[in-house]
Amino acid sequence: MSEENNAAGTQVLVVDDSRVIRVAARKILKEEFEVLEAGDGEAAWDALQQNPGIALIISDLSMPYLNGMGLLKRIREAEDKRLANIPVIIVTGAEDDEDAKSSAFAAGASDFLSKPFDSVQLLAHTRSHIKLATTETRLEQTATAIETEPTVDLLTGLLNQRSFTDRGHQELAYAIRHRSELGLVFIDVDAFDEAFIKYGKPAGEAILKIFTRIIRDSIRTEDTAGRVGLARFGLVLPSANAIGARKLAVRICTQIASRTFKIGNDTLKLTASAGVITPLIRRDTRFEELLEQAQRLLGRAQHSGGNRVLFDQGTGTAEERTEPVTEAPPETDATGAAPETENTPATTAGTEPAATTAESQESEPMPSLAQALQRLHDNDGDSLSPHLPALVREVLPLLEAWQRQQSGSLDAAVGQIRASLDIPEQ
């Protein structure tokens, strides 16, 4: 499609107190643009309010009521961003001296034409400014879309894939600059797509929220977690060494495997696999290469049967460890290091009455106060129900200290809390 066809319907406002000039401009432009007319600056201002589609103004300088200079200043000072940025071509005649042109340029004129103008000149200037204005609008819309694009995964509250990758680039740059360590972990729930298809979206999402809580409770404040697939999670671990990164992955996978879910009459247990790298950071290390390496290890772990962690510390030497290691075919990467595998055994969980959606059957340890507050922030207060009495017991000394500062005005409230927890009065 030609640029002329793309411009069809674009409105151009011609402002001149001479009807002859307006008609001449209309004849030249009408084949490509919708031409509106105004006989003075005030009429032009009214037209701008009534026609938000106007993309260009071609205005004379010398006009009654409100001249071209007054119209230009009013446009550039408008609060409406659309009006303030609209291109304005000033048409000058023999009566307009160079000072008038300089003043118009200083006031924000986009371009100038001299009377009498010919068709080629008027069309060329009009096309150029319409194209430029259209390009600028598209760039602004693209920038706005990027700025307003969500940075978090709506289901889990973790970073989405794009934001996770952006954060990874930042952490790698920091590690290169400060010559520090960096760990990268990818964790995927084994065969989750099959369970998702069998039990449906509500059950699948409930399970993912529980697994997300496991990850949140396991990582440090400075770590970054993101959801980068259906049931795939990524972790960027600043200053993490090989032992710490591996143990974190094993701990998370073990906790995932320890959960039992009751869905209708079915009991579901899932396992997870992970790929862990703690590479040697060089000046030319690229985050895309680290992503590829970690995901390749994760793929090997899953293809080897799942329920295991495959790790590579990037040093080319095996590390002595006490965890049981499964046998896996050796693979050497570009660093010469042979990846190693480690089982994440599943533990047996108790059972509870059946639920219509997935419900974790494992009795999890009580979260810390900081973790409890984070869950409340994430609208996950239901998971705190079994732990609320114990958490309130921890908070009670703070309430009592506040009670003393309030000169006993909170005695009744604190007394009720003590009674509900069966704590005797002091």
pLDDT of 319 higher than 90: no
Tokens representing 165?
Answer: 């990758």
pLDDT of 367 higher than 90: no
Would you tell me how many other CB atoms lie within 10 Å of the CB of residue 336? 10
* Average predicted confidence (pLDDT) for the chain: 80
Backbone angles phi, psi at 403, to 5 degrees: -60, -45
Average pLDDT over residues 219-245: 94
Range with the lowest mean pLDDT among 21-25, 218-222, 392-396? Answer: 392-396
Q: In the listed set 89, 116, 148, which residue is the last one of a domain according to the structure?
A: 148
Residue 5 confidence (pLDDT): 44
Residue 339 — pLDDT band, cuts 50, 70, 90? Answer: very low
- Residue-wise pLDDT for 146-183, tens only, equals 555 688 899 999 999 999 999 999 999 999 999 999 99
User: What whole-number percentage of the chain has pLDDT above 70?
Assistant: 77
pLDDT of 24 higher than 60: yes
Please check whether residues 247 and 316 belong to one and the same domain: yes
Please check whether residues 315 and 186 belong to one and the same domain: yes
In a domain, 156, yes or no: no
Residue 343 confidence (pLDDT): 45
CATH of the domain at 350: 3.30.70.270
Provide the number of structural domains found in the chain: 3
In a domain, 154, yes or no: no
Residue 338 confidence (pLDDT): 42
Q: How far apart are CA 228 and CA 416, in angstroms?
A: 46
Residue 1 confidence (pLDDT): 39
Please check whether residues 58 and 124 belong to one and the same domain: yes
Q: Which residue has the tokens 């309430």?
A: 399
User: 106 pairs with which residues across the strands?
Assistant: none
Please check whether residues 246 and 338 belong to one and the same domain: yes
240 vs 410: which has the higher pLDDT: 240
Residue 285: give the domain boundaries. 161-364
Largest pairwise CA distance in the chain: 99
- Residue-wise pLDDT for 1-19, tens only, equals 344 444 557 899 999 999 9
pLDDT of 347 higher than 80: no
Please check whether residues 373 and 424 belong to one and the same domain: yes
pLDDT of 285 higher than 60: yes
Closest listed residue to residue 232, CA positions, set 175, 302, 172, 330: 302
DSSP class of residue 323 equals S
Residue 275 confidence (pLDDT): 93
